[in-house]
Amino acid sequence: MLETNRYYQDYIDGLDNGPCHEPDVTEAQMFVFLALTVQMGNGVRDKLTEYWSTLNQLYTPFYGTMMNRERYLHILRYLNFTANRKEPDRTVETF
């Protein structure tokens, strides 16, 4: 969660005219994101956005009530687990 927020902030800082700043991802949102991602394996759809579809044949209210589609896609886009600011020196060989 911390690195996801840093990665997004670094992205926004690198833009001249960036989009409106999104709020930081909370721990609770990260748990919901992970739960939704695991749940998606139980009802496979052709497109990721179809999990939030309102068409009768695809409608599953669970996804929309847990997290809106745009927030899910935001977390997915900036999901990061490593400290990019502290990348190891890859020029040094380790054995």
Closest CA to 5 of 87, 79, 86, 85: 79
Does the structure show a pLDDT above 80 at 20?
Answer: no
Distances (CA, A) of 49 to 14, 70, 80, 90: 28, 9, 21, 38
Give the pLDDT band of residue 19 (cuts 50, 70, 90). low
pTM greater than 0.75: yes
Local confidence band at 87 (pLDDT 50, 70, 90 cut-offs): low
pLDDT beyond 80 at 90: no
Annotated domain spans of the chain: 2-15+27-83
